[in-house]
Amino acid sequence: MNILLINGSPKGERSNTLKLANAFIDGIRSLENHPVDTITVTQKNIGPCRGCFGCWEKTPGKCVIEDDMGGILEKYMKAGLIVWSFPLYYYSVPGILKNLIDRQLPLFLPFMGGRSDGMGSGSHPPRYDLSGQRHVLISTCGFYSAEGNYDGVLNLFDHIYGRDNYKGIFCGQGELFRVRELQSRTGAYLELVRQAGSEYARGSVAPETEAALKELLYPRETFEEMADASWNIRNCARIKCPAFYSDCLHNKEITCPNGHVISAQILGENGREQEALRFTRQMAALHRPKSGNGKEIILEFHYTDVDETYQILLNAEGHRVLTGTFAPYTTRIETPLKVWQDIAQGKLSGQEALMQHKYRVLGDFDLMLHWDDYFAETGEKPRRAVQGGREKKTSMIILLAPWIVTWTALPIHSLWGGAAGIIAAAVMPLLYLACKPVVFEYISISAVSCISLAALLGADTRMIVPLSYGLFGLMWFISTFLKIPLTAWYSQNAYGGEQALSNPLFMQTNRILTACWGILYLLTPVWTWILMGTGISFLTGALNSLLPALLGIFTRWFQKWYPPRFARAQHF
C-alpha cells in the first residue's frame, strides 16, 4: 500500500500537526514498511482553480493550468491511503491546502449524479475508480479543545468523500507541540497517536484509544494561561472586552464592563527581560494547586544574565506571578535565563546543572526535592515496580532484621542464636510480597545464614559476632564505590522513588552517608572482640546500639543540611 502524506500547513516542515501525522504513519509502518510519499504544499506551485472547466471540456481529466498539480494528482491516484495533515485556520483548512482540494476537479466527470449518503442535493461521479482508497485527517488547532471547532472541516470532507469514508484525529492545544518544556505530555500524546496508527493498520482504532485522543493535554485554565503568557498578556485570560485589544497596544490598564481591571504588556525593546517574564508566567501556569499540603510558598527567580527578578506565589487556590513589591521568599533560584530554559526543555539535567554550579538555590530546599509535586511533569519518570496495582517500595527492615536477630541472640546462646538467625533469614523474603527487593538484602540473608550455621556447628561466638559486624560494614563500604550506594536504595522512598537515583546531588549525599556507616561497622569488630573478652561484655550490645543511634541522628541532619549547603554554592 502506498501512503501519501499531504502536509497542508503554511509552516511546512515546522508544522506542529506534522508531528502527529508522522507518528500516525510510524504506527502503521510498525506492522509493515509501506512506502510513503510526502507532499509539502508550501514547496509546490499550486495555483487556484479558475473555474474554466477546461479539465472537463478541452483536456478531459487534465487541468489546463501548467503547474505542480498534475504530478500531485498522479501520486494521489496511486495512493492506497492519503493522510491529510493541516492546522485549523479560521475553522477550515488553510488557503494553500484549499487550492489543492479545489484542483481535484479533473478527477470527476461533468455529468450530474445523485448521492446515496444524503450529503447534498447532487454530485459529479468520479472519473476513476478510487473506491478502495482510504483517507485520514489529522489536524491541530489553537483552542483548548478541538470539540465543536471542526464543523467546517467535517462538512467539507463529508461532501467530498462521504461521512463514513475517512478517519479524523483532531487535537486542541496544538501549539504546545512546539514547546520543548512540555515534551513529556506532548510526547505521551504522540505515542498515543502512534498507537492509533498501529491499530488503524490492523483494522480500526480501539474505542479506548479514540477516547484518550480526545482528552485535553492540559486543563483549559492551564492551557489558556500558558497561551496568554506566550503573548506576554497579563491578567486578561478569558476576559472578552472589545476595547481591550486596542488599549493593550499602549500598555494601558482598563476596566471592563464586568468590573475586571486588566492590563497587557507587549514585547518591547527590552526583549530579553520580557522573554524572562513570559517564561516565568508559562512555568507558573504548570503549577498544581493541590501540592504543598495547602501551605503558601513564594518561589523567587533571579535571572542573573538579564538582572530580572520575579516571584511565583503558590498556594492551594492557585498561583500568581509578582513583578514588584516582593514578599520574603521561601525558595530563591539564582540562574542565567538560558540555563533554566535549557533545563525546562530537557536539554540540560537540572540536577547535573546544580552539581556543576550553573545555578544556586537559597532558602528552603524542600521545593527542589519535590519539584514534580508542585509543577506538571517536564520529564519522563522511570517505571516503578508495581504489585497488584500498588507501588512497591524498598524496606530497610528486610536488610537489618536478620543481622539484628543474630547480634542479639548469639551472645546470649550460640545454639539458640544460630537457630534464630537461620529462621530470621528464611522468613524475611516473605516481605517481598509487599516490598521491593534489593541485592544487598540477598547478600545479607546469605551471610547471616552462613554465620548462624557456623554457630550451630560450634564455632567460637567471640569470633563469629565481630566477624558478622565486619561483614556488614564491608558490604556498606564497598557499596560506596558502586553506581548506587546502599543508603540510596532506601532513602529514595522519601524523594520521589527511583527518580531520585538519577539525581547526582541525592546520590552524592547518600554516598557520603553510606561511607560513614561502612566505616562505623568496619571499626565495630575491634571493640566488640575486646569487650566480649572482658567482664563487662554485657556492655557490648548497649554500645553497639548507641553508636548506630547517634549516627542515625547525624544521618537525618546531614540529609537536610548537605543538599541546601551545596546548592547555595555559587560558581557561575
Give the phi and the psi of residue 114 in degrees, each rounded to 5. Answer: -90, 170
Q: Are residues 27 and 153 in the same domain?
A: yes
pLDDT-wise least confident of 161-170, 289-298, 491-500, 555-564: 289-298
Q: Are residues 359 and 432 in the same domain?
A: no
Q: Are residues 213 and 339 in the same domain?
A: no
Q: Is residue 385 part of a domain?
A: no
Q: What is the DSSP string of 299-348?
A: EEEEETTTTEEEEEEEETTEEEEESSSPPPPSEEEEE-HHHHHHHHTTSS
Q: Are residues 15 and 67 in the same domain?
A: yes
HSE-up of 229 (CA within 13 Å, CB side)?
Answer: 22
Q: Is residue 195 part of a domain?
A: yes
CATH number reported for the structural domain that contains residue 107 in this entry: 3.40.50.360
Q: Is residue 184 part of a domain?
A: yes
Q: Are residues 150 and 249 in the same domain?
A: no
Q: Are residues 259 and 276 in the same domain?
A: no
The pLDDT score that the predictor gives to residue 238 is 40
The set of cell numbers assigned to 344 is 525546562
Q: Are residues 238 and 261 in the same domain?
A: yes
Last residue of a domain, one of 266, 287, 302: 266
Q: Are residues 209 and 136 in the same domain?
A: yes
pLDDT digits (tens, 9 = 90+) for 18-61: 999 999 999 999 999 999 999 999 999 999 999 999 999 999 99
Look up the domain containing 101 and give its range: 3-217
The chain-wide mean pLDDT, for the chain, equals 86
CB 312 within 8 Å of CB 301: yes
The pLDDT score that the predictor gives to residue 444 is 95
CB 420 within 8 Å of CB 412: no
Q: Is residue 387 part of a domain?
A: no
Domain count, the chain: 4
The set of cell numbers assigned to 569 is 554554592
The pLDDT score that the predictor gives to residue 553 is 96
Q: Are residues 363 and 484 in the same domain?
A: no
Last residue of a domain, one of 380, 410, 442: 380
Instruction: Give the three-state DSSP class for 113.
Output: strand
Last residue of a domain, one of 380, 413, 440: 380
Confidence of residue 273 (pLDDT cuts 50, 70, 90): low
**Is the pLDDT assigned to residue 249 strictly greater than 70?**
no
Q: Is residue 488 part of a domain?
A: yes
pLDDT digits (tens, 9 = 90+) for 365-375: 888 877 877 88
Q: Are residues 208 and 247 in the same domain?
A: no
| Nearest-angstrom CA–CA distance, 16 and 178 | 6
Q: Are residues 367 and 437 in the same domain?
A: no
**Between vectors from CA 369 to CA 365 and to CA 375, what angle results, nearest 5°?**
105
CB 386 within 8 Å of CB 539: no
The pLDDT score that the predictor gives to residue 162 is 85
The pLDDT score that the predictor gives to residue 79 is 95
Q: Is residue 386 part of a domain?
A: no
Q: Are residues 487 and 470 in the same domain?
A: yes
pLDDT digits (tens, 9 = 90+) for 209-236: 999 999 998 888 888 877 776 665 544 4
The pLDDT score that the predictor gives to residue 470 is 96
- Indicate yes or no: pTM above 0.75: no
